[in-house]
Amino acid sequence: MPNIVECRGVTKLYRQGSIDVPALRGIDLAITKGDFASLAGPSGSGKSTLLNVIGGLDRPSSGSVKVDGEEITGLDGNALADLRLRKIGFVFQAYNLIPVLSAAENVEFVLQLIGMERGKRHARAEEVLHDVALDGLANRRPSRLSGGQQQRVAVARALASRPSIVLADEPTANLDSKTAEDLITLMSHLNEKFGVTFLMATHDSRVTSRTRRHIVITDGRVAVDERRAANCNLGKLAWAG
């Protein structure tokens, strides 16, 4: 399978006073098409920094980062923003939905940014909201949705542009146990059914136990990178709310 992400010798230094503090120390990592991977490690290990570097939200101090075959480290701000829109879907811990827009409008907003015409935007939003079992809630604003429903809107938004990879930063952190389990089942279902590539930075053992690839970052280096048969029984999606 082709590599969706390739990191070669990636370092990241943060300046603290007169000292450069390393967050990433020569990361070599490839994420292949269709991976369902967790990126774990203790606080301060560098996992969120690595996710941000892969997503083009932060620039490495040195090294090479390719997304879907495109070197991103030398891109200017506009080109990097365009690449994020076309090739990377994001799911954040805090959902990051626009409060004055409905669920469907939040999904369509990304499609509007990439220039999709209105009729196709409506159809695509309807399609991805169906995929995350939110058919009847398309017109609700975030304030009228539960935390689990808001995170499913965020997943739908991440999938709307049909990106090469979805990056999720602590996607279950604000969810109760049942809702978190359902969200993991949803993402596993989307990975299995549509081949969507997921890379999730997480502390949550409920996530790491369900991924088929488990990567651990320790002190800015890859300490573990293993593939395994995960507990990914899809079952029936029974949403808690």
Q: Is residue 220 part of a domain?
A: yes
For residue 19, the Cα-to-chain-centroid distance in whole angstroms is 32
Whether the pLDDT of residue 146 is over 60: the answer is yes
| Residues paired with residue 11 on neighbouring β-strands, in sequence order | 25, 62
Query: pLDDT-derived band of residue 28, with 50, 70 and 90 as boundaries?
Result: very high
Q: Is residue 22 part of a domain?
A: no
Say if strands 88-91 and 165-169 run parallel, antiparallel, or are unpaired: parallel
CA 168, CA 157: separation in Å to the nearest integer? 12
Q: What is the pLDDT of residue 232?
A: 46
CATH number of residue 136's parent domain: 3.40.50.300
Whether the pLDDT of residue 107 is over 50: the answer is yes
Query: pLDDT-derived band of residue 43, with 50, 70 and 90 as boundaries?
Result: confident
Q: Is residue 191 part of a domain?
A: yes
Q: Where are the alpha helices (DSSP H) in 98-203?
A: 103-113, 118-131, 147-160, 177-194
Q: What is the pLDDT of residue 165?
A: 96
Q: Is residue 235 part of a domain?
A: no
CA distances from 118 to 125, 163, 220 (A): 11, 19, 44
Q: Is residue 240 part of a domain?
A: no
Domain that holds residue 113: 33-59+76-227
Q: Is residue 98 part of a domain?
A: yes
Q: Is residue 172 part of a domain?
A: yes
Q: Is residue 141 part of a domain?
A: yes
Joined together, the tokens standing for residue 13 give 């230094």
Joined together, the tokens standing for residue 192 give 């299995």
Q: pTM of the full predicted structure? A: 0.90
Q: Number of structural domains, the chain? A: 1
Is residue 132 exposed (0-12), middle (13-18) or buried (19+ Cβ within 10 Å)?
buried
Joined together, the tokens standing for residue 215 give 């990567």
